[in-house]
Amino acid sequence: MLSLFLLSCTNSSLPQGVWGLYGIDMEGIGQISIHKHRVSVELYTERLTTDGEVQAQVDQQEELLWLFFPLRTGQGGGEAALRFQGEEAMIPLGARRGEFEVYFSAKKDALSPDLSDWKNRSMNAVNQERAYWEKGEFLLQVEDNLLGVWKENMLTVFDRHWLTPSAVPVEPKMEGADLILTFPVEPSFHNEQGSLRINVPLRKVSVPISDQMDPLDRQMSLIPGSIAQEDIERRMQKAISDADKQEEMFVLDLIQNTFSSGSCEKLVTLDLNSLPVWKGYKLEWQYLSGDNCALSIEPTPIQHRRRLQRIFKKNDI
């Protein structure tokens, strides 16, 4: 399932020796062995494993080596790429550059203490991963906060940021080792869809804001399991309540800033509907008397984070 490129070369200038690999991002251990032109890799983690010591092909770029070798995950076998330089090794697993990378420290002549135990442990973990995906029941989480349920290709998301009023079908698409789920979601201002990018081997999730990795992408984890429908409905109601409270605070702050910016004579001439900050609302001014005016606000349409409907008067703010 890993979509990775493969180059090969042999070079007499290859560094010689054995390097122990120690997981940084995830628990794991392994080694890289280079003897003359023969290069091998042995790698055991909770999500990735080699079938023992496997031979690797090499692309050498001065002091940087790319090693290409067979690797197993819970979704089957594939060709992996490992970037090796100095005291660091990295396997890029994401389809987007810089995303879902697995790092290891590399120590020369530091043989892994007990690879046989790690080999059995890793094989068992990968087999368990296969069972998780065959069952197909997962929860979306940020730290300890449960934000969604994905089961039988139906997705429910519920937090103050976004919501599916019920379980909705997803449109899955593979991109390398990433599974992209597209689905209807609220809020939606121009019929845009929600999207999740799931790195299948790592079970890590990002909510992308563009085709390129961005620091503002929201990060989640995909946890095997499910919850009862009653729990889903309770969490959904809490998500709606939390979003409503946040919306009211947000709108009130905007209203206060707006009313303080000038006289009613000036305010009633403002076209607030054209401002991006009021996206999803319809606003109308009404001149009352003296220096008092009113601004009515209503969602168009009513949806998550756009439920507040109210008339605000300047003299009441």
| Res 11: pLDDT | 45
* pTM of model > 0.75: yes
What are the residue ranges in the chain where pLDDT is below 70? 1-12, 111-113
| Res 112: pLDDT | 55
Kindly report, residue by residue over 43-61, the tens digit of the pLDDT.
Answer: 999 999 999 999 999 999 8
The 3-class secondary structure across the chain, one letter per residue, is: CCCCCCCCECCCCCCCEEEEEEECCCCEEEEEEEECCEEEEEEEECCCECCCCEECEEEEECCEEEEEEEEEECCEEEEEEEEEECCEEEEECCCCCCCCEEEEEEEECCCCCCHHHHHHHHHHHHHHHHHHHHHCEEEEEECCEEEEEEECCEEEEECCCCECCCCEECEEEEECCEEEEEECCECCCCCCCEEEEEECCCCEEEECCCCCCCCCCEEEEEEECCCCHHHHHHHHHHHHHHHHHHHHHHHHHHHHHHHCCCCHHHHCCCCHHHCHHHCCEEEEEEEEECCEEEEEEEECCCECCECCCEEEEHHHC
Q: Where are the domains of the chain?
A: 17-133, 136-227, 243-316
Kindly report, residue by residue over 126-163, the tens digit of the pLDDT.
Answer: 999 999 999 999 999 999 899 999 998 999 999 999 99
| Res 117: pLDDT | 86
